[in-house]
Amino acid sequence: MTESREIWYVVKRPAGSCEIVANVVSGEANPDIIEQWGPFTSQDEAIARRVGLIRAGKCQPQ
């Protein structure tokens, strides 16, 4: 039985915008990621969190 579950994250880039990405290795040193929120079990949940982060002023809309 093969199960392909993706884990979703919201990541903040140096330009101030946030992106939704799948399967980020937590703790991986990546200079392109300033902040990271998650994990989320669905892409829809990550999108909702990103909208909240934009409204809270933590991310810039793209």
Tell me whether residue 3 is in a domain. no
- Residue 37 is predicted with a pLDDT of 95
- The DSSP H or E segment spanning 2 is none
Tell me whether residue 44 is in a domain. yes
Q: What is the pLDDT of residues 9-55, one digit of tens each?
A: 999 999 999 999 998 655 556 788 899 999 999 999 999 999 999 99
- The DSSP H or E segment spanning 36 is strand 35-40
What is the pLDDT confidence band of residue 1, given thresholds at 50, 70 and 90? very low
- Residue 5 is predicted with a pLDDT of 79
Number of domains in the chain: 1
- Containing structural domain, residue 32: 8-55
